[in-house]
Chains A and B, each alone.
Chain A
Amino acid sequence: MASVALLSCLTNPVSAQNRTITGKVTNELGIPLVASITVSGDSKIGTSSNENGDFTISIPQNSSYLMVSSLGYETKTVAITGNSVNIQLKANADFNLDEVVVVGYGTQRKGDLTAPISTVNMQDMAKRTVSNPMDALQGAVTGVQIVSSGAPGSTPSVRVRGVGSFNNESPLYVVDGMFMDNIDFLNPNDIADISILKDASGAAIYGVRAANGVILVTTKKGSLNMKSRVTYNGFAGFQTPTNMLKMANAQQYAHYATATGNGAFVKNSVEKFGGTETNPAMDTDWFNELLRSKALITNHNVDVMGGSEKISYAFGLNYVKQEGIMDAKNNNQKFNMRMQADAKVTDWLKVGFMAHLNNFKSYHPDNAAFRQAYFASPLYPVYDPSLELAKPEKFGSSTAIGMQSGFWYNNPVATAFYRNNQTRGFQILPSFYVEAELWKDKITFKSQLSQRYQSTHNIGYNPIYYIDNDQRNDRSFLRSAQARNNNYILDNLLTYKDGAGKHHWTVLLGQSSREERWRETWVQANDVPESEEFWYVGVGAQGIGSATGYGERGSRNAGISYFTRGTYDYDNKYLLTATFRADGSSKYQTKWGYFPSVGLGWVLTKEKFMENQTLFNQLKIRGSWGKLGNDGIQPNAGYATVYSGNNFSGIFGSEGTTNGTRIPGYRVGRFFSQVRWEVVEEWDGGLDFALLNNRLSGTVDYYHRTTHDLAFSRPIPFSWDRVYGNWGSVANSGWEVGLQWKDKIGALGYAIAGNVTTLKNTVKNLGGLENIMNGYPEWSAEFPARIQINEPINYYYGYEVAGVYQNQAQIDADPIASAYNKQNPNSPIVPGYFQYKDQNNNGELDENDRINLGNYLPKITYGFNLAFDYKKFDMSIAFQGVSGNKIHNLNRAMRRKYNQMNVDAAFVENLWTGEGTSNTHPSAAGSVASWNLQASSFFVESGAYLRVQNIQLGYNFDFPKLPTRIFVTADRPFIFTKYNGFTPEVSEMGFDANVYPIASTYSLGVKVSF
């Protein structure tokens, strides 16, 4: 109080031209704040608000803005529009108990939370030069693993606390109240706030959609009494391939091919393109040919926001363009517009409107080109003018050196070049709400209608071209598909907040209905001219492109939910949160599901016995339990489905020169079961703490999630068909630790933050089955992944390589090898072949010698970053990594079918070449023998990596009224990994059949606001 009085004394004497302004300062929860208020541009004129938040200030007539600041809150500049002004301050993103956190259907004071809700540091996020907002969170949040893909416009795979489902691992995204499957459409700059609900206490309010965690996204909004602000933020830069996979060059390949009995190709290449058989002249580096060394990325944003006493608004425009690093038609563009307006109609009624308009256009690359580039022999050229028939481009063919043609041998550059697959579309997300304060500061009713209209048009066009017998297209082909998404959610929320003495409580009652519809219509035709303006199907269209096929698909789901949340605290010391949601869904035979949760918290630092210690500024213990649902599983009919139409009708009467015709037929899918959603039961215990004068803060959590009614397709013996049902359960558990240290030494401020998440995944029940075989499509028979009780999900299953037979004596002494050689004298095991471990010591290699070779889920996911600021400079560096996971190097394993393919340089350099040369790699000849191409530990490699995720250096200019920051960024510049592939980021089950590699981005950016 004394300081307030002192401040008041400093204020200037009231002059004749001055006017008096009165007002009130509160935080987002409406709690009054003591704040200092000065006239913008003249800090000599100032005052403070009292404990009720009220203040009076006398200011010159020509002053139009006030600066309001309070410890722990963001400083705000407010326009003076009348004689009274209400100011709401936003809590600082740093550790602050009064910080308001967005939770499901509301907000809560951070100090009162019983759930470990991660909020994303938007400042750090803004440093990342990525086009997809989720990519920017990689390594930044505990409990969240993000696997990126390099293809522009692709959706990264996001896993919150492990994998508890075979169906849908992705969390639910709630963007300003609308449920979304991803937030690819957003520009990182659209976002004001992200909260990640990981445990039951936080997420169960989203019921049947919450099992994979919930990511709440709030986009930028203006606030009342806010000075209008215009901000430009943008960067331009280039992406360049990183961690390039070095393939065997011509010399290495020639040597290898000769050793594996493929010397004819070398001879043919030398004959045609020159050089010698040990050093052929033709040496094509296919990855180099396929990739661009510099691909553009640029992002521009303009934000305008502000607010008067009754109306607040925001308007945003942004544009991002990202070229792919594959040298082909391959890019992604997004143009977004965002509008928001809130109006206080009366002192108890508020209405608001918000709309996102997205325009997007992508050219999708043919990722098969990456696989083909791994396969392609360096001994033939990208372009070969000697091929008479090649048209329109003179692309080279593997047949020129006597190699086969067909998918695996296709010219990768041609595959990329002749691809034209584009999607354009738009999306409108309008939402409208009414909020009535029925009882001042106590009861509020809010009703919000959120909608989503999306329309996309996908065009795929194959031009006429010829390279060889197989890589050719004799007739042009057009497929044009249009799809509409049409969703809505109607939420009705009644919030009651009250207290008596030291008791505080809130009650939320809510009801929500939603519907999701999707429908796609497609047509296709041959002989459509090559110019894009003629890409129409139908009679009367250009060319003779009448439809050769058309069809429609669609889906429709509806849901109704009722939910409630109660919170109670005593003196902000003992905390209780309980939620309950009842969800009705049209997707399943069982219509209704019930999802309760309870969370408890105890703030120890508020206790008497902690009063005299100075170490802890804050210490809180939390615990929660609850149930969450996953309805990301296929809608189920619960009945035998009939398949009929042209594709299920037999041909009859195809006799001599008479053309056969169809007799209408049908097939019935008999394998079905009644499916319902999966239920996750989650326990969480945690600590939040701040110590050493708030310099060190952090959270520690232990989580244990069990998915019951785990839904998956059980393979049916005898057929490719699988039957889908709730067959088992799986558990995920682990620790999450986040720490932050922040301090200042003189003018040098610095912060260090780190986070670690551990994960243990165990299959608990498989509905009576011993195990289930799984794997990468079309390779699951040879290189299976297996699901077995008490083991992690989908581990690689095969033989353990004990070493390499160094000489014949070893082979003769080994019962497995000698028995095999007796049986197979035509293809015996020779030195340079793998020695597999006889796990059951029965002297023969059999099915029981196969073991768990590791799993694709990282045991540890971590990130850490350092930030400094010194005077006008600031710098930050962020690291991110995973460890304990394995990757199945399918690129090398595919040699089992196609042994002429090229191979990475590390492979040929490490081959066994004689006694004692290698105990890990087979000989060249052995590397193509079936014996060495069994599923084994040789193909399973560590997927651990550490990456320098982001380095940014910024400089702030103090232009009067035009604060400007320029920054240079290196995004994902370095990676440290032992994995023998382009990138250790392999999504799904970790089978690497060549993925679109991740690029490094170097850029220059600027941010200006006024």
Chain B
Amino acid sequence: MNTFKYILIASCIAVPLSMSSCKKFLDKPLENQQRSEEIDYSNTALMYGPVSGVYRSAADDNLVHWIDLSIRCMRDDDYLQAAPNPNDNPELMAIKNFQNDVTVQSYWGLNQSWISYYSLVIAVNNALIELDNFAAKIPASNTKDLILNKQYKAEVRFLRAYAHLMASRLFGNVPILIDSENIGRLATIEKSTAAEVRQFIMAEMNECIEDLEDARPNQSIHIGAVTKYTALLLKAKAAADLAGNDNGSPHWEEVLDATNKIIASNKFSLYPNYYELFKIPGKLANESLFELQYSDFGLSTGDIVRPGVDWGTFFKWQGPSGDQKGSPISGAGWVPPSQDIVDFLTNRGDNERLKTTILYCGINGNPATSATTPSGDVVYGNPFGVKYFNGKAYLPKAQMTAGRMEYGANNNVRILRYADVLLLNAEAKVRKGQNGDEPFRLVRERAKLGAISNVTLNQILDERRAEFACEWWGERFNDLVRTGKAKDVFGAKFIPGMSESLPIPQTQIDANPNFR
């Protein structure tokens, strides 16, 4: 019996010792989480991975978030209000009225906009680190991959610059964030002026233009990726912002030069059917310079990549509200077009653009009535007194993948179009005292409007409004600001020097006092 006792004593000493010798017992990496060090940077076949990841960031939420969309649209006179009931989210009406106080500053939506743009910026910065890691493994002799590496970097740098432009157009003076690895820096970085931001964008684009693919986006190896011409247009837009209403500004030369290069490439053309341009047939047309791409993969159910959260996708958010009796042509009914834009298009006899931009819903939106779209879908009225919805967000049922019920599913979100190139080109020419008739004619012709000779600046600005009516990027407001017309249009509530930008969100100031 005693022997047994000794065995026990021995084992009670031996067991702990044997366990401690198993050092591996504690050396367990986290389950199912890949370390970045495990990426094989010498395998250049993986090199587009971080770039594709950034495009996805942009498409998921960062450029199409529903509240950011609402905030951006609010300041255009193309839009009536935010929510179907104007009392909802009263801050959005306050923004529409250019209110600039603590009630707006503490609004969560502003914080979301800020975070949307800068999350994309940080995603780009992280991707650039990845691309550096790949570059370090490419032998100097392998020029092909070194060139590709530069091209990929330029693609994501374009997205970073674009995010900065959007942030600055909303908030004015914003930080230029090109290194975000150090968290401490994020909490101390200073603001740059709106002009510095645009100069940064132009400098970035000058470098990217060299490295990017010389192709139309839909000719790119990665179909729909940004190319040299996308960067040229962004540079032109930043330059036009900088030039402002000053015809003598040297920046007009840069606008002219950049747009001339795009036109001279002969790669781009306007999609002949303005109405279908915003529907399935117009996805990534030869007119497209930058588009966020989505897909339902032709499946009636399951896997889908959509712009934003399922209940508030970019499209669904703008879909007709009211009882649509089970039709997929329905949504939350936000950011409805204003009477002003309808009258504007009607008065200039711009039928093609009116048909495309405005989705009617019965007689003055009366819920007992309905309207039929040019594509044959029935849209009913609503109890909110909303008369129109955004026709550019409308995707006809017949074009939807069979089985899908989600408004706008499988459509892309158009951002930069060749029409912008032509109109900026015309504007730069006119401002520099040249004749802008030719590019102008092309845009009007596509919209089934007659040519105008000796086109004036005001005619170009009106054309810009009509062409880009109710598109979602705040172009109209920006045009009014840069041409100094904002006060004429908005009246006394617009105070120059103050109303151009929204306050930086209080939570961001709380996190970084340098934003004060």
Binding site for B on A (CB under 8 A): 260-262, 264, 268, 346, 348, 388-389, 399, 401-407, 436, 438, 445, 447, 466, 468-470, 472, 474-475, 492, 494, 511, 513, 526-527, 547-549, 552-560, 562, 584-586, 591, 635-637, 639-644, 646-657, 659-668, 670-671, 714-721, 723, 769-771, 773, 778-782, 784, 820, 823-824, 826-827, 845-847, 896-900, 928-931, 933-935
Contact = CB atoms under 8 A, between A and B. Distances in A.
Contact of A554 (B19, B31, B505): B31
B48 interface: yes
Given A652-B223, A660-B294, 5 more contacts: A649-B53, A653-B223, A659-B298, A664-B49, A929-B90
A718 B28 contact: no
B349 interface: no
B89 interface: yes
A667 B295 contact: no
Nearest to B130: A668
B140 interface: no
A667 B57 contact: yes
Contact of B506 (A469, A643, A770, A847): A847
B84 A846 contact: no
B301 interface: yes
Interface residues on B, range: 35 or more
A591 B512 contact: no
Nearest to A648: B53
Contact of B222 (A584, A652, A897, A933): A652
A655 B224 contact: yes
Interface in B365-403: 383-384
A728 to B, nearest CB: 15
Contact of B85 (A585, A664, A823, A900): A900
Given A642-B39, A823-B100, A898 B301 contact: no
28 contacts: A262-B87, A404-B321, A469-B331, A549-B303, A591-B26, A637-B35, A642-B34, A646-B303, A650-B56, A650-B293, A651-B294, A653-B293, A654-B284, A659-B410, A660-B294, A660-B297, A663-B222, A665-B52, A670-B181, A773-B511, A779-B108, A781-B507, A782-B107, A824-B99, A845-B102, A847-B102, A928-B90, A930-B91
Interface string B185-222: 01101000000000000000000000000000010001
Nearest to A655: B284
A853 to B, nearest CB: 14
Nearest to A659: B298
B31 A782 contact: no
Contact of A513 (B19, B48, B122, B282): B19
Nearest to B19: A513
Interface stretch (B111-119, B244-252, B419-427, B468-476): B111-119
Contacts of A654: 224, 283-284, 293-295, 410, 412
B507 A526 contact: no
Nearest to A387: B323
Contacts of B15: 447, 492, 511
Contacts, number: 329
A781 B505 contact: yes
Given A652-B222, A668-B129, A718 B509 contact: no
B186 A716 contact: yes
A447 B12 contact: yes
B508 interface: yes
Contacts of B450: none
A719 B508 CA distance: 9
Contact of A586 (B28, B37, B91, B101): B28
A718 B321 contact: no
Interface in B280-295: 280-285, 293-295
Contact of A445 (B12, B186, B410): B12
Contacts of B43: none
A921 B496 CA distance: 37
Contacts of A492: 12, 15-16
B323 A470 contact: no
Interface in B30-71: 30-39, 46, 48-57, 59
Given A492-B15, A548-B301, A654-B283, A723 B183 contact: yes
A513 B94 contact: no
B16 A511 contact: yes
Nearest to A519: B31
Contacts of A636: 30
Given A718-B122, A930-B90, A657 B281 contact: yes
Given A438-B8, A827-B97, A773 B115 contact: no
B325 interface: yes
B321 A897 contact: no
B9 A445 contact: yes
A826 B123 CA distance: 40
Contacts of B99: 824, 826-827
Contacts of B177: 718
3 nearest A-B residue pairs (beta carbon): A665-B52, A548-B302, A402-B383
